[in-house]
Structure 1
């Protein structure tokens, strides 16, 4: 089984946010100035200035002992850092229209074998592909659509992405678009456009290398950005000719700069789509909360609401967002392996396990709460419960065990983590059913371990968002004369209603459906 990333905190793979300043990879000294938090007595704000007054504002900021941190692309605005004591004076300046916080933005993470129709054999088809009906529509016309992905980059050398028509640019803060230190952007891109190539990996919603991609990288290795950078990135998407902007990202506060930017883009005929958030509460995240942006919630493989998915009146559509298998930069994922005797099992990866394998007789290690020399030189089978995973695996290692399997104490699979504890033996997780079966195989040779992979399972509204963006592009490619507003209306009216009848806070109008949307336009026309 490929590595599965559990839903992480806001600073890793929680929401899928993209926005502003990120690490400057080519110049460490400049990076500290570009993306570090302001000094305690300083504030980082966005200043909207009157047209033609950029030079005046730059001189004013310098005179106030401040710094220009980011000039927003195609807008009369810039992000600056100045002493808090001068903010009032700056706000009263006749050349300034308004000042607002430059808010931070953060990134937000099941298959069947292909039967050969419509995808080539030797690949895995993530459950979301069928759930959104992408397997029922050809993407032969998708070349007339371009999706702009604002995220952490794109591994253009990936075996499942390299044949796509993808463009991007260099950014002084985050580096080249075709690098991805956080893995998040490459995972998002795979859901949209992993290639239908026999014997390799997975497939995306638009799987035949027709769809055009433009990558704007706002997240570097530190995994967050400012809203000023998000506004710039969105404007760059427009300049690149994008029809759709996919943003697996967000943050808790809104501002006028973003709001105005996305309203302008929507008026220009661009479909803006963003993740609803991963905090599992009623809070609204932005940019998803703006009226010009489609807010996307997450469901699991059973079409049930994902408990981490934020729910509120802004949620408009839902997409698959639990256990989504997709691409990550080559070799950066993990695949768990487990065999006992002649039996092969489908384990989960234990986050923090070393990438290695071990083979030895399988032995009973109970719940793993004590050291037991009887398992020396063996693979420990451990039941979940009572003590944490790190203690269980550490006790196995300290007993002389060479590998550890932690099996569930309730039905179903699960993901585990060792946290900050470092172990030298490989460890994986297993279902309760598999653990019960292995209890009848004590003494048989067991191979357990973690191998490097080019794919990974992620959870999050970040994963739901590219499903919706990709379906929008797929359907729109059949009827490119439809407007963005008409496509938005069609997607909501053709969605599979889930939860309470009609629009609700968890699913919005429902699960996005490609064929139903295409059929609706064929029958009723654009937007009806």
Structure 2
């Protein structure tokens, strides 16, 4: 922290007058128009004095940051200068906002039990090549929206967690994000149930700190507290599928301390805006920034790219756990053949069976499809219109197939329909056109699993691999594990480290082999 003789030249001091004049502070936050929310860092033992000063300024303490001499406060903007000049105050900074940043094969029985779905990312990061039998000596702390603890594919794990007065108990998850992250890390290898995670055999310890409620955002002060709580709980790895575009000195101090003095490896998402902006906390030197790629190991176009990207992980169409019943599962069969289907977002949860009929591009009413399942080509007309026209023509179900290569996701927006609707690939659409008149079944059902895209999905792959590899070499430091993961990554894109892939795709078995032969940090 800054001493008294340097406080006058802090960045906050330099721009304070301009910020006050422009009304920048508080503009994006839930404070009253004439107040702002900031973090105040204070000298050891000065908490009571600062609280008194805040009260005198007609402000309020909003959050006392766990493990640090700092607190988040909301005060009138005109009081900021006086607080900054308080001899007990080290520095003041904006309490910036943090937000969350969303393909399988059946198991053959080795190494996962039969009936398990194995998300493509598990194999891409080589988790299927390295047993998690020693993972009980590692703990991953997930800072997110909580976890559905009773989920069929998570409930057997070794969970601990925190209660937060603002977001509630760690074992609830209103926006589904944290449960999806947890599944990638540790969905259980249980016969015939769901998917598997990187550490699937209930050995890894998981500590959950919930910073996001239903509203889906938090402050940097909250994140600093959460990180320190992870450290206090004995976490070795912190996984954060979240971030924001502004730095926080308080936040950075927390992660630096955890890395250098508590031997904690923090991993965070690069962000999903597809630009060169550096997101935080991923952008801090003490945190590993993770970018996203797809099942073909190609950079995901939404993944932010810059010199801070360090490792990559699977982040496109990642199947994982969501709170029970919160996902949607689609099924499609025509003439006895099953086809891969995507649920149309907004479709009712229903099943319909009837002869398949050609409905063109779905741009007009056609009563010839009454009592039938409509097969509709994508293009020209929006999905809601296509499905509504099918329904208004008497159709009982709808299948929209792609007009370009591959699968796709569709949404009905605010349009309410009463018939089940799904999507299909261009290839399957062509195959189904050859089966017009045959019996077709379209089903949209509630599910405990969902496909998400995002650097949020890439991040838990990397944090889980870090814990998995580290479990074999517990005497390695966080910095050494980080170096070994970087040096063993599968180089993609331009040779060497690049702005899109970093050092490349994280590799569990390659990292293990490297440390076993060359030692920690090689």
The correspondence of residues 74-223 of structure 1 with structure 2, limited to 5 A, is: 74-223=67-216
Q: Deviations over 1:145-187 (max 9, x none)?
A: 0000000111111111111101002110111111111111111
**Unmatched 5+ residue regions in structure 2?**
1-27
C-alpha deviation, 1:449, in angstroms = 2.3
Moved more, 464-473 or 86-95: 86-95
**Unmatched 5+ residue regions in structure 1?**
1-34
2: CA distance between counterparts of 1:247 and 1:65? 35
C-alpha deviation, 1:345, in angstroms = 1.0
Q: Deviations over 1:446-487 (max 9, x none)?
A: 211210111111110000000000110111000100000000
Q: Deviations over 1:418-465 (max 9, x none)?
A: 112222211110001111111122222221121011111111000000
Tell me whether 1:470 sits opposite 2:464 in the alignment: yes
SS in structure 2 of the partner of residue 417 of structure 1: coil
Tell me whether 1:37 sits opposite 2:30 in the alignment: yes
Indicate the residue corresponding to 1:274 in structure 2: 268
Runs of 4+ in 1 over 3 A off after TM superposition: none
Indicate the residue corresponding to 1:311 in structure 2: 305
1: CA distance between counterparts of 2:417 and 2:327? 19
Moved more, 120-129 or 62-71: 62-71
SS in structure 2 of the partner of residue 47 of structure 1: strand
Indicate the residue corresponding to 1:290 in structure 2: 284
Alignment equivalent of 2:333, drawn from 314, 331, 339: 339
Q: Deviations over 1:60-111 (max 9, x none)?
A: 2122221111111111111111111211222122111111111111111111
2: CA distance between counterparts of 1:449 and 1:86? 60
Alignment equivalent of 2:230, drawn from 217, 228, 237: 237
- Asked if structure 1 preserves the Cα contact closer than 8 Å seen for 2:29 and 2:97, the reply is no
Q: TM-score, normalised by structure 1?
A: 0.92
**What is the alpha-carbon root mean square deviation over aligned residues?**
1.1
Indicate the residue corresponding to 1:14 in structure 2: none
Alignment equivalent of 1:412, drawn from 406, 412, 415: 406
C-alpha deviation, 1:36, in angstroms = 7.4
Q: Deviations over 1:378-400 (max 9, x none)?
A: 21111000011111112212222
Tell me whether 1:73 sits opposite 2:66 in the alignment: yes
Indicate the residue corresponding to 2:20 in structure 1: none
Indicate the residue corresponding to 2:520 in structure 1: 526
| Structure with larger Rg | 2
Change (3 A) 1:172 1:328: same
2: CA distance between counterparts of 1:297 and 1:131? 14
SS in structure 2 of the partner of residue 416 of structure 1: coil
Tell me whether 1:350 sits opposite 2:344 in the alignment: yes
Tell me whether 1:373 sits opposite 2:373 in the alignment: no
Q: How many residues align?
A: 494
SS in structure 2 of the partner of residue 415 of structure 1: coil
C-alpha deviation, 1:315, in angstroms = 0.2
1: CA distance between counterparts of 2:33 and 2:395? 50
Moved more, 227-236 or 49-58: 49-58
C-alpha deviation, 1:377, in angstroms = 2.0
Q: TM-score, normalised by structure 2?
A: 0.93
Indicate the residue corresponding to 1:57 in structure 2: 50
The correspondence of residues 9-28 of structure 1 with structure 2, limited to 5 A, is: none
1: CA distance between counterparts of 2:392 and 2:68? 60
Indicate the residue corresponding to 1:383 in structure 2: 377
1: CA distance between counterparts of 2:208 and 2:425? 38
The correspondence of residues 443-458 of structure 1 with structure 2, limited to 5 A, is: 443-458=437-452
2: CA distance between counterparts of 1:361 and 1:151? 46
